[in-house]
Amino acid sequence: MAKIKPSKGSPYARILGVGGYRPVRVVPNEVILETIDSSDEWIRSRSGIETRHWANDEETVAAMSVEASGKAIADAGITAEQIGAVVVSTVSHFKQTPAVATEIADKLGTNKAAAFDISAGCAGFGYGLTLAKGMVVEGSAEYVLVIGVERLSDLTDLEDRATAFLFGDGAGAVVVGPSKEPAIGPTVWGSEGDKSETIRQTVPWTDYRDGEVAKFPAITQEGQAVFRWAVFEMAKVAKEALDAAGITADELDVFIPHQANERIIDSMVKTLKLPESVMVARDVRTTGNTSAASIPLAMERLLATGEAKSGDTALVIGFGAGLVYAATVVTLP
């Protein structure tokens, strides 16, 4: 019986570079208030959101991804030809096939990199990061590009008072490559499909196609149920990720949770008992909820502003539709 030759990968993997792209158009709460009965004060107090970015016709899912990825590749100090795989997390690419990752890989100039999309909602970046780590360590790719990208403005019901103000557009990307020491901890992830109706698409595409509904499908959610789940259950997952990495809250430098809602972020910080020395990402204020893009976008901004620095230890956690979640501890690039 023939024996399969073992893979030759890196002993560990790390994030080597990060990049982000935010659409040109900045949308203040006043624009949202044109279609819902609310107030700027109510939106800010409930979510912390002041503005968000909405993409124009040229700022497609692929175009935003290419911009963010180019920055991440340059930040990593490699070339596009060295990218062995492209993993894209998105729920707002409206072609069932082919995967938008293949278009991105081609436009970046990769050398026929493996390319595929995943659908894991707001936890998508964590899922992609975990897959990338596995590829680097296993040896199927030396460098992996992980992209979180959304055009949620296309899936927003501007008349839905519960969600109209939440969503924004953008793309965030990281390059994952070899490391001589651990720099991406074990992932704590999972799903709770029994709660899938709490964040969902209003109707299937086929209902709209067949004329059973007149309104284009949108994302909706049960706000209070999502809030309770995120605050109580996701804090436990975050703690499990710290334990799995052998890190205590006191040893943490940065906390980058999914930018869903600032009240959720504040509650998680309190539940985790994070010391004041920990820098907490609050990109949601000016970017809104960009689902899979929110963690890499927040990471990129913290590093660009100097609020976080290379080598810092960061806890990242994403959670959302599914319900799905993923948390891990990483060393910032």
Write down how long the chain is.
Answer: 333
Q: Is 258 known to be catalytic? A: yes
The values of phi and psi at residue 101, to 5°, are -60, -35
C-beta pairs of 200-209 under 8 Å, 24+ apart in sequence? 200/321, 201/155, 202/157
- The alpha carbon of residue 232 and the mean position of all alpha carbons in its chain are separated, in whole angstroms, by 20
Q: Is 289 known to be catalytic? A: yes
Residue 278: C-alpha distances to residues 126, 244, 269 (Å): 21, 19, 9
Of the residues 53, 93, 261, 289, only one is catalytic, namely 289
Q: 């704590």: which residue's tokens?
A: 188
Nearest one of 55, 118, 47, 79 to 321, comparing CA atoms: 118
Of the residues 29, 53, 93, 258, only one is catalytic, namely 258
> Is cis: bond before 98, omega within 30 of 0?
yes
Of the residues 29, 53, 93, 122, only one is catalytic, namely 122
**List of E strands, the chain:** 12-21, 25-28, 51-54, 83-89, 114-118, 143-151, 169-179, 188-191, 199-201, 219-221, 254-257, 279-280, 313-320, 324-331
23/290 Cα distance (integer angstroms): 12
59/169 Cα distance (integer angstroms): 9
**Token pair in block for residue 104:** 């991105």
List active site positions.
122, 258, 289
